[in-house]
Amino acid sequence: MNKTERLLNLLTILRSYRHAVTGERLADRLGISIRTLYRDIAALQAMGAEIEGEAGVGYILKPTFFLPPLMFTQTELEALLLGAQWVSQYGDAPLSEGAKDSLNKIFDVLPASIKKDNNAFTLRVGPPASETMAKEDLSAIREAIAKQNKIDLVYKSQDGKQTQRIIWPFTIGYFTDGRILVAWCEKENDYIHFQTDRIISMKILNEEYSRSKNILFREWQAMQLQKLSKT
């Protein structure tokens, strides 16, 4: 059993326990020494697995977004890398940093034979976004969408008019020339598209909107498809 297989097996075993399990028990199930087990635990923790515990006490894996080793075809890997490159250049600041960190993690685990091939990944994203776009931070809006919180928004239209309204945000569109926040607007009683760079100010309200963001998205999507079919 190579190290990758061993680490994957260790993750699988840890997931099967609801409570802490001793290092001796884990080592016995894997057929390895306790010293090797400690090194493997440390390696998984360094990769991002939230394994809590210590020698002599036991270990438990907390439920997180940590993914075990995966196998990808060349095409699948190129798709992932291209997508991460795009987000690193056109995502708002926190998403861009997250994409760069993801790319580094992917490259860290690539086989040496692929790393040495400079032409292994020839797909590239176009020129980087403007400085203004690169500095934009939409974390608060993404969090509001995740929690289905209403937003008190002050917005500047293309003609320079400022309006204040309460919206129900449910998706953000990322494009090479800007970002669009899509939301249900209480004032208009309709779905409205907002250019994020025209948002003057906003306040995330401690109030959830009454309809599910998934329902809002599907309804809005159906309306967009209907409009397209008429053109």
**What is the CATH classification number for the domain harbouring 23?**
1.10.10.10
Which tens digit of pLDDT belongs to each residue from 200-229?
A: 999 999 999 999 999 999 999 999 998 888
* Residue 72 near residue 7, CB atoms below 8 Å: no
Mean pLDDT is highest, among 3-12, 123-132, 190-199, for 190-199
Predicted structure pTM score: 0.68
Q: Has residue 68 been placed in a domain? A: no
Residue with tokens 């600041």: 93
The pLDDT of 178-205, averaged and rounded, is: 96
Which band of pLDDT confidence, cut at 50, 70 and 90, is reported for residue 80? confident
Q: Has residue 31 been placed in a domain? A: yes
Which tens digit of pLDDT belongs to each residue from 55-71?
A: 778 999 887 655 655 66
Q: Has residue 66 been placed in a domain? A: no
- More confidently predicted of 110 and 194: 194
143 and 222 part of one domain? yes
pLDDT the model gives residue 111 = 67
Among 39, 61, 83, identify where a domain stops. Answer: 61
pLDDT the model gives residue 35 = 93
187 and 147 part of one domain? yes
Q: Has residue 108 been placed in a domain? A: yes
Whether the pLDDT of residue 117 is over 60: the answer is no
pLDDT the model gives residue 48 = 79
Q: How many domains does the chain have?
A: 3
127 and 150 part of one domain? no
DSSP state of 62: P
Among 109, 133, 157, identify where a domain stops. Answer: 133
Q: Has residue 9 been placed in a domain? A: yes
Q: How do 51-54 and 149-156 pair as beta strands?
A: unpaired
Q: Has residue 19 been placed in a domain? A: yes
Among 101, 133, 165, identify where a domain stops. Answer: 133
- Say what percent of the chain tops pLDDT 90: 56
142 and 226 part of one domain? yes
pLDDT the model gives residue 74 = 73
pLDDT the model gives residue 15 = 84
Q: Give residue 90's domain range.
A: 74-133
Q: Has residue 53 been placed in a domain? A: yes
181 and 211 part of one domain? yes
15 and 97 part of one domain? no
Neighbours of 96 (CB within 10 A): 21
The pLDDT of 80-98, averaged and rounded, is: 92
